[in-house]
Amino acid sequence: MAETRYTKDHEYIRIEGDTGTVGITDYAQQQLGDVVFVELPQVGKTIGKGAEAAVVESVKAASEVYAPVGGEVVEVNSELEGAPATVNEDPKGRGWFLKLRVTDASELQGLMTEDQYNDFVANL
């Protein structure tokens, strides 16, 4: 069963085995507004925890997407390049950004559970 964890920067990572699917939360896409461009990393790139993993641009602003944990990029959602609005329509489904092969699963411990994240957002 997949486990999803969240960062205070509104990224999520859904863990299945040793791979994590990374994207932005519904709250993040609402704050950004209409997403018009997504820049994804190269497959094979190694990204450290907290490092820039992708860039998302909206009609309001450009924002970095940070890696919730470190790992190697094993897949990117190239559909976003032609349909960036998918991030707004389905951020936790079809709007994912990249998949990482997690190098240190202990890094997940510092991330929030869904309940903790919901409480965090409710107090913003």
Q: Tell me the domains of the chain and their CATH numbers.
A: 3-119 (2.40.50.100)
pTM score of the predicted model? 0.96
- Each residue of 103-120: pLDDT tens digit? 999 999 999 999 999 999
3, β-bridge pairs = 15
Query: pLDDT: is 2 or 49 the higher one?
Result: 49
DSSP 25-52: -HHHHHHH-SEEEEE-PPTT-EE-TTSE
Average pLDDT (84-89) is 97
Q: In angstroms, rounded to a whole number, what is the distance separating the alpha carbons of residues 112 and 118?
A: 9
